[in-house]
Structures are given as structure tokens and as C-alpha cells.
Amino acid sequence: MIKTVGLFVITALAEIIGCVLPALWLRGAAGAWVLLPGVAALALFVWLLTLHPAASGRVFAAYGGIYVATALVWLRVVDGVRLSLSDWAGAGLVFAGALVILAQWQR
């Protein structure tokens, strides 16, 4: 299960980077050159999702919980925003849900 969670974290980072880079360009904070690595990151994201043996709906459901937790870590580390108690509680709930789904398919 640790390997799967790690793969999901890498997948989430690829998705976040693939969305942040074009957003920087759209806001005028970066040149158009960021679009190419953004597209590459989103392509990597899609490819990484195909590496899981479970049915796609189950993969997306479990990935969603890991994504929320990863996005909040990004919010704290990259964006420098202090996390609230609600952030921690929400992340804990969805992460626990993801682990329940992962535990079922790992059997």
C-alpha cells in the first residue's frame, strides 16, 4: 500500500504542476514557455494513473483522497499558507477514506 500511496503522491504533484504552470501564464506571471512543461506534467499525470491494476473508478476514488492531502501540503510548502484546523480535519477524513479503498483493492 505504501508503494501505491507514493505513486499517487507523484501523480498528484504532476497534476498540480500541470495546472499551476498554465495558470501562471494566464495571470501574466510567467511566459508562454511554461505551457510546454505544463502539458508534459499533465501527460505524465494521465500516464501515471494507468499504472494501477484496479478498475479506473476505484483508482480515481482513492486518488482523490491522496490528491487532497498532497494539495494541502503544496498549499503550505509552496504557497506558504498556514493550514487551518478545518484543512487538517478535511485532509484526515479524505485520506482515511482513500486508505480504506486502497486496503480493499490490495487484498
Alpha carbon of residue 92 to chain centroid: 15
> What pLDDT tens digit does each residue of the chain (107 aa) get?
788 888 989 999 999 999 999 999 999 999 999 999 999 999 999 999 888 777 778 888 888 888 998 999 999 999 999 999 999 999 999 989 988 988 887 66
Alpha carbon distance 70, 66 (integer Å): 6
| Contact of 52 with 4, CB cutoff 8 Å | yes
* Nearest by Cα to 54 from 11, 93, 4: 4
The pTM of the full predicted model, rounded to 2 decimals, is 0.83
All structural domains of the chain with their residue ranges: 2-106
